[in-house]
């Protein structure tokens, strides 16, 4: 089937992608007049949403305030698809062990679920209290003493932060697949969008980090939400929880999963040029309580295949948001009117005069460091010196400083932008 049948990405913020899937045409069902019939319903999402790496950062679990616009996109998608149960899938990059990444990826998805259902107990379970208190205090929430103890003040600050992250959406567990039992899962590093080349595993002496590796692996660090048709039930869910290990994940692997995950001389990316019909289908049989694979077997040797899990690949087959985007770092020192650097600043980035691409941020010691899409021709940066005890508010319009940057990432080195 041609690429035109893939889903349309209707919302894009350079931090999140969201859109509807092509879906299946409605068909009349003809059944025999017997005592009992089983109608098989295709397990195919109708829409999807993706929160990308800048919301977490390398190795991170705590959701940053800059994710708020992405939650607004999810709220619109939920509103456009009423009564469609949701399932969240967390992902990591290939750095680290499979078991550890299984836990990290699940925690990322679970953190999103906690925000959407306003369950502070989930954050208490997955986060170190001291680390979370430090982040909340820096963002001008009041968690009480930073002592690593989850007390009433920390509880109140977490709930307030959740409400600020996703003010338009507060859901019940029943809004998720399996009445919440299948709401979140971690895919470890089994379904990468990009496989980097060995030469990218280089230690950067200047930054003291694997800068190139972490940047190139960025598209792999994400959380994806799939919305399914109303009434969808999957009694035999194939995705294990992190506490159950990765054996259940490996049971869903395609035959050449090892080769798919292997790094080669050149980096590879997933290119979603096929649709669900070409992958075969998993079908839920509600009465039998089982999950079976039907349809033609897919050739799993194509160069554009980087997903190891056949089940996840089927879900993402029509998902336009499960694609890579070329990004690069933009690093700037923000100063005030006296050209004094080194202060915390709130900022807004707008790419190519498109309000849908706005990204909000909070600088560290005056330094703005953001991923920028290489296709952007220019970027408007607005910022303000952050007053003491003023909470991060992306809706505040008082940003007195601004600059427009013309971007040309083809240049290998430049000292002057503007």
3-state secondary structure 218-230: HHHCEEEEEECCC
Q: How confident is the model at residue 300 (pLDDT cuts 50, 70, 90)?
A: very low
Q: How confident is the model at residue 384 (pLDDT cuts 50, 70, 90)?
A: confident
Residue with the bigger pLDDT between 65 and 125: it is: 125
The pLDDT > 70 percentage for the chain reads 67
- Is residue 230 over pLDDT 60? yes
pLDDT of residue 182: 95
Q: What is the mean pLDDT of the chain?
A: 77
Spatial separation of the C-alpha atoms in residues 54 and 314, rounded to whole Å:
26
Spatial separation of the C-alpha atoms in residues 378 and 353, rounded to whole Å:
8
Q: Which of the residue ranges 8-12, 203-207, 263-267, 377-381 would you say has the lowest mean pLDDT?
A: 8-12
Q: Which of 208, 278, 223, 253 is nearest to 60 (CA)?
A: 223
Spatial separation of the C-alpha atoms in residues 329 and 332, rounded to whole Å:
10
pLDDT of residue 226: 95
Q: How confident is the model at residue 337 (pLDDT cuts 50, 70, 90)?
A: low
3-state secondary structure 84-134: CCEEEEEECCCCCCHHHHHHHHHHHHHHHHHHHHCCHHHHHHHCCHHHHHH
End-to-end Cα separation, the chain, in angstroms: 45
Residues 282-297, mean pLDDT to the nearest whole number: 42
pLDDT of residue 151: 95
Residues 307-321, mean pLDDT to the nearest whole number: 87
Tell me 272's DSSP state: -
- Is residue 5 over pLDDT 50? no
pLDDT of residue 285: 39
pLDDT of residue 299: 41
Q: How confident is the model at residue 61 (pLDDT cuts 50, 70, 90)?
A: confident
- Is residue 12 over pLDDT 80? no
- Is residue 51 over pLDDT 60? yes
Q: Please provide the size of the chain in residues.
A: 418
Residue 394 · residue 69 · CB < 8 Å: yes
Residues 42-69, mean pLDDT to the nearest whole number: 83
Residues 161-190, mean pLDDT to the nearest whole number: 94
pLDDT of residue 187: 96
Residue 60 · residue 206 · CB < 8 Å: no
Q: Which residue has the tokens 């005056």?
A: 366
Within a 10 A sphere around the Cβ of 73, how many other Cβ atoms?
Answer: 23
64's CB contacts (< 8 A; 6+ apart) are: 54, 55, 56, 57
Q: Which residue has the tokens 């059944």?
A: 31
% helix / strand / coil in the chain, to the nearest 5? Answer: 30, 20, 50
Spatial separation of the C-alpha atoms in residues 255 and 398, rounded to whole Å:
56
327's CB contacts (< 8 A; 6+ apart) are: 215, 218, 219, 371, 372, 373, 374
- pLDDT tens-digit series, residues 88-116: 999 999 888 999 999 999 999 999 999 99
pLDDT of residue 393: 59
- Is residue 170 over pLDDT 60? yes
DSSP string across 293-336: EESPPP-TT-TT----BHHHHHHHTT-TTSS---EEEEEEE---
pLDDT of residue 305: 79
Q: How confident is the model at residue 371 (pLDDT cuts 50, 70, 90)?
A: low
Q: How confident is the model at residue 314 (pLDDT cuts 50, 70, 90)?
A: confident
Provide the edge-to-edge strand list for the sheet that holds 281-285.
41-42, 281-285, 290-294
Residue 315 · residue 45 · CB < 8 Å: yes
pLDDT of residue 127: 93
Spatial separation of the C-alpha atoms in residues 306 and 93, rounded to whole Å:
12
pLDDT of residue 327: 63
Winning range, highest mean pLDDT, from 61-75, 181-195, 327-341 = 181-195
Residues 354-370, mean pLDDT to the nearest whole number: 69
């Amino acid at each position: 089937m041609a690429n035109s049948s893939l889903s349309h990405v209707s919302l894009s913020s350079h931090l999140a992608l969201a859109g509807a899937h092509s879906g299946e045409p409605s068909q009349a069902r003809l059944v025999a007049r017997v005592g009992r019939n089983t109608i098989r319903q295709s397990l195919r999402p109708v829409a999807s949403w993706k929160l990308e790496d800048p919301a977490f950062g390398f190795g991170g679990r705590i959701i940053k305030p800059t994710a708020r616009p992405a939650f607004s996109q999810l709220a619109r998608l939920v509103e456009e698809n009423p009564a469609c149960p949701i399932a969240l899938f967390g992902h990591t990059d290939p750095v680290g062990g499979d078991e550890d990444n299984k836990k990290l990826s699940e925690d990322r998805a679970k953190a999103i679920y906690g925000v959407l259902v306003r369950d502070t107990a989930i954050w208490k379970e997955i986060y170190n209290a001291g680390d979370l208190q430090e982040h909340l205090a820096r963002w001008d929430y009041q968690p009480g003493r930073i002592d690593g103890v989850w007390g009433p003040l920390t509880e109140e600050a977490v709930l307030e932060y959740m409400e600020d992250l996703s003010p338009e959406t507060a859901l019940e567990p029943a809004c998720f697949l399996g009445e919440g039992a299948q709401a979140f899962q971690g895919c470890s590093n089994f379904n990468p969008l990009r496989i980097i080349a060995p030469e990218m595993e280089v230690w950067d002496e200047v930054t003291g980090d694997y800068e190139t590796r972490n940047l190139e692996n960025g598209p792999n660090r994400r959380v994806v939400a799939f919305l399914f048709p109303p009434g969808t039930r999957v009694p035999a869910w194939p995705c294990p929880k992190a506490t159950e290990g990765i054996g259940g994940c490996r049971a869903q692997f395609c035959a050449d999963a090892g080769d798919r995950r292997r790094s080669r001389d050149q980096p590879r990316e997933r290119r979603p040029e096929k649709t669900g019909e070409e992958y075969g289908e998993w079908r839920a049989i509600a009465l039998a309580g089982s999950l079976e694979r039907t349809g033609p077997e897919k050739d799993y040797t194509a160069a554009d295949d980087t997903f190891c899990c056949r089940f996840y690949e089927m879900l993402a087959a029509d998902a336009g948001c499960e694609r890579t985007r070329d990004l690069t770092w933009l690093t700037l020192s923000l100063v005030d009117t006296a050209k004094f650097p080194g202060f915390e600043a709130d900022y807004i980035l707008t790419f190519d005069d498109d309000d849908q691409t706005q990204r909000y941020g909070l600088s560290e010691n005056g330094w703005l460091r953001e991923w920028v899409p290489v296709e952007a021709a220019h970027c408007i940066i607005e910022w303000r010196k952050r007053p003491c005890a003023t909470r991060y508010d992306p809706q505040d319009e008082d940003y007195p400083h601004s600059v427009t940057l013309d971007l040309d990432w083809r240049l290998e080195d430049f000292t002057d932008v503007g």
